[in-house]
Amino acid sequence: MPEASHGPRRRFLAVRDAHAVEEMDKADCDPAVLARTYAQFPLINRVVSRWRSVYKQLVKPLLSPTRNTTLLDIGCGGGDIAAGLARWAARDGLRLAITAIDPDARAIGFAQTSLKHANLNQSNANQSGPVNPPVEFRRAHSSELLAEGASFDVVISNHMLHHLSPEDLQGLLADSAALARTTVIHSDIARSRIGYALFSAGTLPFFPGSFIRRDGLTSIRRSYTAAEMRAVLPPGWHVRTARPYRNLVLFTPKAARV
């Protein structure tokens, strides 16, 4: 006699796995493996996050060679995105002051150490354009900056939205909208079976001794499709799809639209 059917089987990745937990988010994860993961972020972000393209299209047009523009990077992790933005702006002769925050002391400690090693002050001083201040890395939540009355021209995050609970996501969106004077750019992974397969195969021979591959696959399972993200965004927000398999979640404050 055939077994009773329990309904149609869902296709892999048809539903986001909101309960999956990344290893690096665990308080007791191996610190050496975590540090190696942070150290490998610049390579994986160059391939996956494509912030150089985001900078050229969405950030650079807002910058000036004579007026300081301020930028807040929320959930900065190892700090490579903030450091990259600082370098690109300096090379283009544009003035950009960056504050990068993360609630995890391990991330901020790594980012601050990396900044010293990179010696962004010296790098900026060697440019023919303006000397930008170094990135300020700070352990903090966005809500703390909001309570302090802080504001920034541009607010960004990278691969953070999928980490958050529904309540925390709405809180982060509200905070970033209130903190930004000109624009908000949240770049995140877009869940797809093709993206999962490509990331799984592409990272298999690389990134030994880190959480990159395991947590990257978990991140894809946790991430939103563009349609899912649009369904949970407050009014005024919109989603732009980008390659490879990314969502750019964007907001322009009313004052900047006038």
**Which tokens sit at 209?**
């001794």
Residue range 193-207, pLDDT digits in tens: 999 999 999 998 888
Rounded Cα gap, residues 225 and 228, in angstroms: 5
Please report whether residue 98 resides in a domain: yes
Of 50-64, 81-95, 120-134, 218-232, the poorest mean pLDDT is in 120-134
Residue range 103-159, pLDDT digits in tens: 999 999 999 988 776 654 455 545 555 556 779 999 999 999 999 999 999 999 999
Q: Look up the CATH number of the domain holding residue 130.
A: 3.40.50.150
Please report whether residue 15 resides in a domain: no
Strand order in the sheet with 246-251: 136-139, 96-102, 69-74, 152-158, 180-189, 246-251, 237-242
Please report whether residue 180 resides in a domain: yes
Please report whether residue 200 resides in a domain: yes
Please report whether residue 247 resides in a domain: yes
Domain extent, residue 232, equals: 28-257
Please report whether residue 3 resides in a domain: no
Please report whether residue 9 resides in a domain: no
Tell me whether strands 96-102 and 69-74 are parallel, antiparallel or unpaired: parallel
Residue range 147-177, pLDDT digits in tens: 999 999 999 999 999 999 999 999 999 999 9
Which pLDDT belongs to residue 121?
Answer: 46
Please report whether residue 157 resides in a domain: yes
Report how many domains make up the chain: 1
